[in-house]
Amino acid sequence: MSAVIEIEGLRKTFNSVRNGRRVAVDGFDLTVGAGEVHGFLGPNGSGKTTTLRALLGLVRADGGWMNVLGAPSPTHLSQVAGRVGAIVESPQFFGNFTGYRTLRLLALAGGVPVSRVDEVLEQVGLHDRGDERVKGYSLGMKQRLAVASALLKNPELLILDEPANGLDPAGIREMRDLMRSLADAGVTVLISSHILAEIQLICDHVTIISRGRRVAAGRVEEVLAGFDQHEFLVRVAEPERAAELLHAGGLPAVAHPDHLVVGQVDDPTTISRLLGEQGLWVRELTPLRPDLESVFLELTGEGAHPEVPRQVDSGARDRVIELDTGVGEGRGGDA
Amino acid sequence: MKLVRAELERLGARRFVQLMLVLLVLAFGVTASTTLAGSHQPTAAELIEARNQAAESRRQMDDVYQRCVDRVNGNLPPGAEEEYFPADCSEVDPVRQERLPVATDFLSGVFVFSQQAESLLYFLIAFLVLFGFLVGASYIGADLNSGGVVNLLLWRPKRMTVLGAKLGTLLGGVLGLSLLASVAYLATFWVIGQAAGFPGHLDGVFWRDLGSVHGRGLVLVLLTTVLGFALATLGRHTSAALGTAAAYLVVWELGARLVMEIVDTAHPDRFMLSSHVGAWLTGRVEFWDATACATATGFCDRVYALTWQPALAVLLGLTAVLATAAFLVFRRRDLI
């Protein structure tokens, strides 16, 4: 499968008098193959939006190499811009313009037939509200309008930064269906999102970024399999005694008030057998499969210290210190 | 071309532009209606009386000049020596006057187009200068601030082309509107002069002079439009241009002028943009320099002049520098 997006060693540092030097992206790599629906995950301030902005020529990279649809970006981006639809971080529109006029002006500027405007308004469910001023739109409607603007070009590649922002559950489902139908039509989709369950449902591939670096990438099931601890949830009458028995049988187990979690289980019948031999009968035996959220939290360290208030992009600041002192690598880089 | 067409539609659809157009029409309407209400077509008797008054006025000027010459030659009759005359009689020589009294000077309550067209045109130019600066600043400032430019760059990832198209469209739009407004404005007052006033002496010299003022005014409108656009681009916001203009007026035109007067700087007005604007519009402005003759022993002229050529060079240079800076900064800027 040919690569539609290739990023290698992308680096970007922001310098400001007030905030000093901040490394936003630090040698990041990303590959998106043709026809993929690719999830791009990372905590706030991890470098997702900076990466997408650099890819789309809105931010000047300090280093690295990027390619979009075979054209080096940003130098030759204009050659393929007509085939790339994108929204970056909830775009704002003039409140005084109607949704229709907003899209019409973009279509005019991009040389797209104006007839496409009605089609994309229909596609995102705004057809009946297209004649209303944008300032009357809800956040979700503005998001739909943004997606409509990205779809105007009938793109081969769709880059969406947080497309589900502000959408209600029904809207999220519609967006998911839209992404799927686009993917079925052969459109490659790169979605950056915080809604991990949605990414798991929509995407077939995923890349996770933390502190400006890639910490995981691949097919979703492969990434999840890499974190499968072969754990099972077991419900029995006496969890603590059961845990001791399983330990003695060579299976690490952690007892909880009403259940226990057993790890390194290759054959779940071993659990039933060990406990049954001692008169403890298993009421429930459920495999614990990792989901994207748990993998994400583990990789990015976001869930490590729930009692400590988490700081946005604190990882990136840590990185600066490490670079300045030359000591060690960040956790993200090691993963 | 498609980009320019889209930008032109966007420019016309902007609420601020529409508001400024309404203000222009309102100002136009108020000026025209008050002129119309305060004017009447002169009767034959009024015209004859005005012509007589003008002739009498010219005759008096001739008389004063002649008596001044007589005094110099010692030919004044007894008792007339106490009358005041300038030392240099050429100052009252009617031939050397910029203009002689004409009948229209003595038409009371009559709008005379030939006499008032120029000042009316200056008012229009002043409004269009303000319009150009504000629209130029808000057109790019609001787009940069709202993410409109980012949206556009996602479609046309060529920054210089996008910014150039915006500036070109803006200048074309402002020029087109200025021409339309000028024609409508002057035509309206010409009709008022014909129907409810007096047209005056509208010869080739009059139209040439009026055309010259109009042309210079349009250049000034375009320059201030570029200035507003460039300042807002550099500052990423409409208010950056407005703030810079306000700061310049207060800090430099008022504050620095005061300081220069205190420290007796020679010819302080030449450092002020307003002086150059005046020189460009009128062709030449003269200033009085109180410090000029402090050490002079012989004849010393305290008056100095600014002419349109260096004034245009200053205005063009400033605009070119700021516009170039805006394009260079926009080319490299991170759009976040």
Q: Which of A48, A73, A92 has the highest number of chain B CBs within 10 A, making it the mutation to test binding with B?
A: A92
Is residue B247, in this structure, part of any structural domain at all?
Answer: yes
Select from B78, B106, B134 the last residue of a domain.
Answer: B106
Around Cβ B245, how many Cβ atoms within 10 Å?
17
Select from A206, A225, A244 the last residue of a domain.
Answer: A225
Note whether A10 and A112 are same-domain residues.
yes
Q: What is the mean pLDDT of residues A48-59?
A: 94
CATH number reported for the structural domain that contains residue A237 in this entry = 3.30.70
User: Are β-strands A3-16 and A20-33 bridged in parallel, bridged antiparallel, or unpaired?
Assistant: antiparallel
Is residue A136, in this structure, part of any structural domain at all?
Answer: yes
Cis peptide before A74 (omega within 30 of 0): yes
User: Each residue of A231-267: pLDDT tens digit?
Assistant: 889 999 889 999 998 888 888 889 998 899 998 888 8
Is residue B135, in this structure, part of any structural domain at all?
Answer: yes
CATH number reported for the structural domain that contains residue A32 in this entry = 3.40.50.300
B151/A contact by beta carbon, under 8 A: yes
Note whether A221 and A238 are same-domain residues.
no
Number of separate domains in chain A: 2
Note whether B50 and B37 are same-domain residues.
no
Note whether B72 and B215 are same-domain residues.
no
Note whether A27 and A76 are same-domain residues.
yes
Q: How many CB pairs under 8 A join A and B?
A: 77
Note whether A16 and A123 are same-domain residues.
yes
Which B positions 7-46 lie with beta carbon below 8 A of chain A? 7, 9-10, 13-15
Domain that holds residue A277: 231-288
Note whether A258 and A152 are same-domain residues.
no
Note whether B61 and B142 are same-domain residues.
no
B305/A contact by beta carbon, under 8 A: no
Closest alpha carbon within chain B to A82: B155
Is residue A299, in this structure, part of any structural domain at all?
Answer: no
Burial environment of residue A257 by CB neighbours within 10 A (0 to 12, 13 to 18, 19 or more): exposed
Beta strands in chain B (DSSP E): 284-288, 303-307
Answer yes or no: do B146 and A86 touch at CB < 8 A: no
Q: What is the ipTM of this complex?
A: 0.75
User: Each residue of A85-95: pLDDT tens digit?
Assistant: 998 876 678 88
Is residue B272, in this structure, part of any structural domain at all?
Answer: no
Query: Which positions in chain A touch B152 (Cβ < 8 Å)?
Result: 106, 109
Query: Which positions in chain B touch A74 (Cβ < 8 Å)?
Result: 157
B334/A contact by beta carbon, under 8 A: yes
User: Are β-strands A84-87 and A157-161 bridged in parallel, bridged antiparallel, or unpaired?
Assistant: parallel
Burial environment of residue A102 by CB neighbours within 10 A (0 to 12, 13 to 18, 19 or more): buried
Closest residue to B154, CB basis, from A59, A86, A94: A86
Handedness of CA A188, A189, A190, A196 (dihedral sign): negative
Note whether A154 and A206 are same-domain residues.
yes
Q: Which residue has the higher pLDDT, A181 or B192?
A: B192
Is residue A12, in this structure, part of any structural domain at all?
Answer: yes
Answer yes or no: do B3 and A109 touch at CB < 8 A: yes
Note whether A125 and A180 are same-domain residues.
yes
Confidence of residue A324 (pLDDT cuts 50, 70, 90): very low
User: Each residue of A269-309: pLDDT tens digit?
Assistant: 988 888 988 888 899 999 888 777 778 887 777 654 545 55
Answer yes or no: do A109 and B335 touch at CB < 8 A: no
Note whether B78 and B219 are same-domain residues.
no
Note whether A206 and A250 are same-domain residues.
no
Answer yes or no: do A109 and B152 touch at CB < 8 A: yes
Mean pLDDT for chain A?
83
Digit-by-digit pLDDT tens for chain B (336 residues) are 788 888 888 888 888 899 999 999 999 999 999 999 999 988 899 889 989 998 999 999 888 888 888 877 877 776 666 677 787 888 888 888 878 888 888 888 899 999 999 999 999 999 999 999 999 999 999 989 888 888 889 888 999 999 999 999 999 999 999 999 999 999 999 999 999 999 988 899 999 999 999 999 999 999 999 999 999 999 999 999 999 999 999 999 999 999 998 888 888 889 999 999 999 999 999 988 777 776 666 677 778 889 999 999 999 999 999 999 999 999 999 987
Note whether A175 and A28 are same-domain residues.
yes
Domain that holds residue B38: 2-42+113-267+308-332
Answer yes or no: do A109 and B155 touch at CB < 8 A: yes
Select from B106, B133, B157 the last residue of a domain.
Answer: B106
Note whether B179 and B232 are same-domain residues.
yes
Select from B65, B84, B106 the last residue of a domain.
Answer: B106
Select from A265, A288, A311 the last residue of a domain.
Answer: A288
Number of separate domains in chain B: 2
Note whether A119 and A240 are same-domain residues.
no
